[in-house]
Each structure stands twice: as C-alpha cells, then as structure tokens.
C-alpha cells in the first residue's frame, strides 16, 4: 500500500458513499494480509480445540475436516470480497441493488447486530486476556482498555486497519509457526496421535463449522476491498482473500487442535496453549491480545457503517461526515462497555450460540448476493440508483429477492441445530448443523428463477409485439 501523502487524511473520510476512482489505492495482496492476520486469534484457536474436545476427532481426521470446511466456505467470502473494487461501496449498501432500498434494511439490521455482538464478546475476551497477563489490573479497567484501543483503530479507519494487519501477518504468522515447532520439538503425550478417532457426526460438524466460520465474514468483506482500483479485476482480489482467509483460519484451528491433543484431556483451550508452548506461552498471550484488539476494530467499523446505512436509507441526501462516524463510534463504545461490564462468565459461549443461530439469516443473503452479482447482473450495477431516495431502477423493495430470502430461512429451520433453536430434523447427523447446506441449495436456484422470470416475460412480450 502506498505511503500516506500530506493530502491523505489520517482519519478515513468516506463512510457509506461511493469511493471515486481517483481515490482508489492499494494492492490485492492487502486483502491476503488483512484476512490472514485477522483469523490468527484466540477465538478460532479455541474453536479448533473443540474438534478434539467436543467432536472427539483424532489429529488426522480433525485436520482433514478443518481443511475441507474452510476451503469450501472460503469460496463465499472470496467471491464477496472481489465485488468491492467493481462496486466501490460497502457490502450492505450494495444489498440495495438486490433487495431494493428499503428491502435491504432487514439484512443491514442483522449485520449490525452481529458486528455489535462480536465487538462485545471480543472486548470481554480482551479484558480477560489483560488480566491474565497483568493480574493486578481490575477486570473493568481491562475491558475499557481493550474497548478504547479497538475503537481508536476503527475510528481511524480503512488505511490503519490494513496497515496493522500487514504487520500482524508477519508477527502473528511467525509466532504461530514458532508455537507449532515448540510443541512438536518437545515430548508429546503417548495418545497424541491416537486420542479420539473418526465419527461421521463429529467430522461433518467440523466441516460445517469451517463453512459457517467463513460465511460469517461475508457481510463486510467488500468494505475492505472497495478502495482498490476498479481495473484490478475479480481474480486477484478473489485469490488474495481466499488464500488469506483459509490459510489463517486453518492454521488457527489446527493450532487449537494440536494444543488440545498435546495437553491432558479436558484442559481449557487457552490454558492448553500456554502449557503446550512453554516459554513461548506468555509471548503468544500478549500477541493474541494485540490481535484481538486489532480484529475487534473491524467489528466496530462494520457496525458503524451498517448503522449509517440504515439512517441514510431514510435520508438519501445525507452524506455523513468524519464527526458523525466518530460520535457514532463513541455511542456504540459506551453501550457495548455497559453490556460487557455486566456480562456473565459464560457470555462468550452464549454469544457464539447466538451467532450460529443468526447465520440462518446470512446464508440466504449470501446466496442471493452471489447469484445476483456474478450470474444475473454480472457485476454491472447502477451506482446512482443505489443512492436515490426511491431506489432508482432497483425500487424500494425487490419482492423476488425478499421472497427467496425468507423461503431460504424457512427451509433451514427444520435442520437447524443451535443453542437457541433445534429443528425436528436437526439430528439426522448427530451434532452437525447442516441447515446452511439446505439454505444454499434452495435459495440459489430459487432466486435465479424468480429474478430471471421477469426478464423472460419481457423477451416473450417483445417477440409477440407487445410492450410493457
């Protein structure tokens, strides 16, 4: 990424508006470092440990399931990210081109809820990490330190986020590899390679978890690629995002699995990491803390853009200033800190359950987004219409997308297996939530048929000599 010139503001001045071609900058490789560094963090490591602790897979079958799940799910996040340079607008604003100006509001609401939830859970996690490193610091103060640090990064915006993750790729990547080397260079438990085994339910659950993990990022991936030059194409952003997101998460999940197997059965995941890495443990804990804070800036950034998108839906002539973004960030910070300070001991576990449940609403959105962009409109959108008060050529509501969206949610419910809701067919494969697969299989062809029906009718009318 080029150095910041005197004319470039320290704080990003764009919010949900279109990024002009003259202001585009950066390289596709910036997407690799962003998504690679972002995913080397405690949460994916803890989730990777579940492969052995909850799903009872051994090392070989666990690694195969982790790799397959993330490679499959990575296609979704990479296709979403590659839309940014072509569109030049945030992902949620782009949804107006598929759902209509007001039809997109529901999607934006769910996205904002997920961002805020992730922000709260990560400041709780950051607070606990600070206390673990410096026990003399009170928990409330630790939570506030983590929250304020992430907010500062999120307010500065796009450039700073990318810069931190470029540095983080080398630092976090090297630290994680050093952790692997340390574990395998020391004595391993006798059952390291044999603990667990293969079971279809655990294996499919792990694959599903990998797919769901990647899809959960898709609502805001183009937020971080929209500044790239428009002529960069689709292939390079796709490859950079795909490799960064999949390699980062595969390494983190695998590290959690290895650490769990290298310590006595039942050891809590992050304690297992500290025990398995010996002298490297304290260093890793500090680096993980810094990465939690850096990654959490993305959640705040996405939450602010989503809320601004919602407000701007009803005020089409309004272009938010830097001051608005700063003030809104402060409001979100205050509210999230209140919740975090009163969070229960099992808040993070409960929140992860909520996110998995909310993914029921993200899968149909991702299906419609990708089908519309790559197959129906082929990347050609009227940007001016997206910002018009009446939705321009996209209207206020696109019933085809809305119908497909709600049907995509409904068909998943019988197969859902979450902490909030368990469908009647959820246990066809015990422990595996396959609702996402049903959502994709149903929503993609359904939306394509509905969206192309009107075009087919127009063609027939022309052939018969009628006009609309």
User: Measured on CA atoms in the order 369, 375, 380, 382, is the torsion positive or negative?
Assistant: negative
Q: For tokens 């971080």, name the residue.
A: 224
3-state secondary structure (DSSP) of residue 134: coil
- Look at 223 and 346; give whichever has higher pLDDT: 223
Residue 349: pLDDT band (50, 70, 90) is: low
Instruction: Say yes or no to pLDDT of 355 above 80.
Output: no
User: Measured on CA atoms in the order 273, 274, 276, 277, is the torsion positive or negative?
Assistant: positive
Q: What is the pLDDT of residue 404?
A: 96
**d(Cα 386, Cα 363) in Å, to the nearest integer?**
23
- What percent of the residues of the chain are helix, what percent strand, and what percent coil, each to the nearest 5? 70, 0, 25
Q: How many CB atoms lie within 10 A of CB 313?
A: 19
Residue 274 near residue 129, CB atoms below 8 Å: no
3-state secondary structure (DSSP) of residue 77: helix
Residue 71: pLDDT band (50, 70, 90) is: very high
Instruction: Say yes or no to pLDDT of 11 above 70.
Output: no
Question: C-alpha angle 17/20/22, rounded to 5°?
Answer: 155
For the segment 20-49, what is each residue's pLDDT rounded down to a tens digit?
888 888 889 999 998 998 888 888 888 899
For the segment 222-235, what is each residue's pLDDT rounded down to a tens digit?
888 998 999 999 99
Provide mean pLDDT across the span 145-163: 77
Can you name the residues that pair with 417 across neighbouring β-strands?
422
**d(Cα 170, Cα 172) in Å, to the nearest integer?**
6
Q: What is the pLDDT of residue 4?
A: 39
For the segment 296-329, what is each residue's pLDDT rounded down to a tens digit?
887 888 888 888 888 888 887 777 777 777 788 8
**d(Cα 404, Cα 296) in Å, to the nearest integer?**
32
Superfamily of 21-355 according to CATH = Hydantoin permease (1.10.4160.10)
Least confidently predicted of 104-118, 191-205, 452-466: 452-466
Provide mean pLDDT across the span 195-224: 88
Residue 468: pLDDT band (50, 70, 90) is: very low
Instruction: Say yes or no to pLDDT of 123 above 90.
Output: no
User: Measured on CA atoms in the order 321, 299, 85, 170, is the torsion positive or negative?
Assistant: positive
Q: For tokens 């390494």, name the residue.
A: 251
Percentage above 70 pLDDT, the chain: 90
Residue 207 phi/psi, 5-degree rounding, is -60, -45
Task: Break the chain into its structural domains and give their ranges.
Answer: 21-355
For the segment 164-204, what is each residue's pLDDT rounded down to a tens digit?
878 888 888 899 999 999 999 999 999 999 999 999 888 98
**What is the residue-wise DSSP string for 403-444?**
HHHHHHHHTTGGG-B-SS-B-TTGGGSTT---HHHHHHHHHH
**What is the residue-wise DSSP string for 231-291?**
GG-SHHHHHHHHHHHHHHHHHHHHHHHHHHHTS-TT--HHHHHHHHHTTHHHHHHHHHHHH
Residue 302 near residue 223, CB atoms below 8 Å: yes
User: Measured on CA atoms in the order 153, 154, 160, 166, is the torsion positive or negative?
Assistant: positive
Provide mean pLDDT across the span 340-351: 69
Q: How many CB atoms lie within 10 A of CB 460?
A: 10
Residue 366 near residue 222, CB atoms below 8 Å: no
**What is the residue-wise DSSP string for 208-242?**
HHHHHHHHTTGGGGGGGTTTS-GGG-SHHHHHHHH
Residue 85 phi/psi, 5-degree rounding, is -60, -35
HSE-CB at 240 with a 13 A cutoff on CA atoms is 24
Residue 258 near residue 54, CB atoms below 8 Å: no
What residues contact 91, with CB distance under 8 A and at least 6 apart?
A: 80, 83, 84, 218, 219, 220, 221, 222, 223, 369
Residue 85 near residue 336, CB atoms below 8 Å: no
Can you name the residues that pair with 57 across neighbouring β-strands?
197
Q: What is the pLDDT of residue 241?
A: 96
What residues contact 19, with CB distance under 8 A and at least 6 apart?
A: 88, 89, 226, 227
Residue 14: pLDDT band (50, 70, 90) is: low
C-alpha pair distances (Å), 170 with each of 126, 154, 163, 313: 21, 21, 12, 40
């Amino acid at each position: 990424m080029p150095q910041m010139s005197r004319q470039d503001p320290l704080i990003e001045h764009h919010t949900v508006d279109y990024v002009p071609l003259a202001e585009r900058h950066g390289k596709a490789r910036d997407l690799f470092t962003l998504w690679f560094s972002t995913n080397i963090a405690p949460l994916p490591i803890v989730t990777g440990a579940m492969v052995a602790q909850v799903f009872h897979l051994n090392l070989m079958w666990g690694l195969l399931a982790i790799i397959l799940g993330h490679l499959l799910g990575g296609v979704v996040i990479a296709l979403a990210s590659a839309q940014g340079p072509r569109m030049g607008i945030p992902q949620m604003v782009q949804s107006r081109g598929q759902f209509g100006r007001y039809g997109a509001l529901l999607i934006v609401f769910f996205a904002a809820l997920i961002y805020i939830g992730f922000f709260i859970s990560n400041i709780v996690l950051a607070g606990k990490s600070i206390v673990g490193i410096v026990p003399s610091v009170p928990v409330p103060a630790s939570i506030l330190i983590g929250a304020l640090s992430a907010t500062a990064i999120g307010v500065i915006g796009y450039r700073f986020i990318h810069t931190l993750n470029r540095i983080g790729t080398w630092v976090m990547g090297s630290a994680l590899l050093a952790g692997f080397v340390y574990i395998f260079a020391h004595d391993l438990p006798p059952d390291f390679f044999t603990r667990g085994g293969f079971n279809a339910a655990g294996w499919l659950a792990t694959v599903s978890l990998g797919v769901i993990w990647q899809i959960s990022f898709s609502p805001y991936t183009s937020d971080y690629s929209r500044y790239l030059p428009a002529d960069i194409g689709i292939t390079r952003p796709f490859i950079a995002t795909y490799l960064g997101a999949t390699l980062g998460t595969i390494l983190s999940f695998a590290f959690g699995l290895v650490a769990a197997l290298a310590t006595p059965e039942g050891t809590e995941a992050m304690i297992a990491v500290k025990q398995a890495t010996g002298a490297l443990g304290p260093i890793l804990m500090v680096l993980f803390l810094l990465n939690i804070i850096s990654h959490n800036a993305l959640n705040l950034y996405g939450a602010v853009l989503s809320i601004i998108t919602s407000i701007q839906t009803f005020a089409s002539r309004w272009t938010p200033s830097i001051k608005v973004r700063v003030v809104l960030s402060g409001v979100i910070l205050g509210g999230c800190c209140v919740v975090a300070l009163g969070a229960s001991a099992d808040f993070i576990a409960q929140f992860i359950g909520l996110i998995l449940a909310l993914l029921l609403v993200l899968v149909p959105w991702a299906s419609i987004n990708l089908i519309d962009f790559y197959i129906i409109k082929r990347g050609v959108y009227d940007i001016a219409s997206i910002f018009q008060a009446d939705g321009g050529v996209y209207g206020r509501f696109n019933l085809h997308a809305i119908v497909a969206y709600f049907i995509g949610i409904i068909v998943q419910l019988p197969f859902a297996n979450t902490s909030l809701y368990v469908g009647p067919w959820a246990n066809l494969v015990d422990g595996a939530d396959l609702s996402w697969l049903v959502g994709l299989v149903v929503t993609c062809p359904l939306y394509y048929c509905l969206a192309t029906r009107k075009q087919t009718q127009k063609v027939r009318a022309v052939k018969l000599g009628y006009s609309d």
